[in-house]
């Protein structure tokens, strides 16, 4: 339930982070119109996936651990998504600076902790389902 609520939280906070922390909208305006729309679309995909994964996690707790091929596939997908996010976060993002305000630094640590939680929960669920499906 905590992982589900956290994923929904990341979806809800996503517009604030883009706007206040990264000044994303001003950067997007520098792109050609089509590229602006593509960037915005992918931003919405990320937000929608985070929200959808959160809803699934909170409403289908038993189904995510019932050792069926579908549970294996879905937990594998979500585990790959969050593991990929963590790899990207630590491989590419450290070269960029976020504004040097305490709230943003605390937020960075908090969000990274949430991403680690999500990956851990879903890697565990994937392993649990895998051990019973094969």
- CA torsion, ordered 31, 35, 37, 39, to nearest 10 deg: -90
Q: Which residue has the higher pLDDT, 36 or 89?
A: 36
Distance CA 49, CA 55 (A): 10
pLDDT at 25: 85
Question: What CA–CA distances, in Å, run from 25 to 40, 45, 86, 93?
Answer: 9, 16, 24, 18
Q: What is the DSSP letter of 65?
A: G
pLDDT at 95: 56
Residue range 70-106, pLDDT digits in tens: 999 999 999 999 999 999 988 887 656 777 888 888 8
Q: Which of 24-28, 40-44, 99-103 has the highest mean pLDDT?
A: 40-44
Locate the domains of the chain by residue range. Answer: 2-133
**Helix locations, 17-101, DSSP H:** 24-28, 33-59, 69-91
């Amino acid at each position: 339930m905590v992982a589900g609520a956290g994923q929904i939280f990341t979806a809800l906070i996503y517009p604030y982070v883009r706007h206040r922390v990264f000044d994303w909208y001003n950067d997007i305006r520098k792109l050609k119109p089509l590229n602006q729309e593509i960037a915005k679309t992918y931003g919405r995909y990320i937000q929608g996936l985070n929200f959808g994964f959160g809803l699934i996690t909170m409403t289908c707790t038993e189904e995510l651990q019932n050792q069926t091929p579908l549970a294996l596939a879905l937990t594998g997908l979500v585990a790959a998504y969050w593991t990929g996010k963590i790899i990207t976060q630590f491989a590419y993002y450290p070269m960029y600076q976020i504004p040097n305000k305490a709230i943003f630094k605390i937020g960075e640590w908090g969000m990274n902790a949430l991403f680690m939680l999500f990956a851990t929960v879903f890697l565990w669920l994937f392993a649990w389902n895998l051990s019973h499906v094969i």
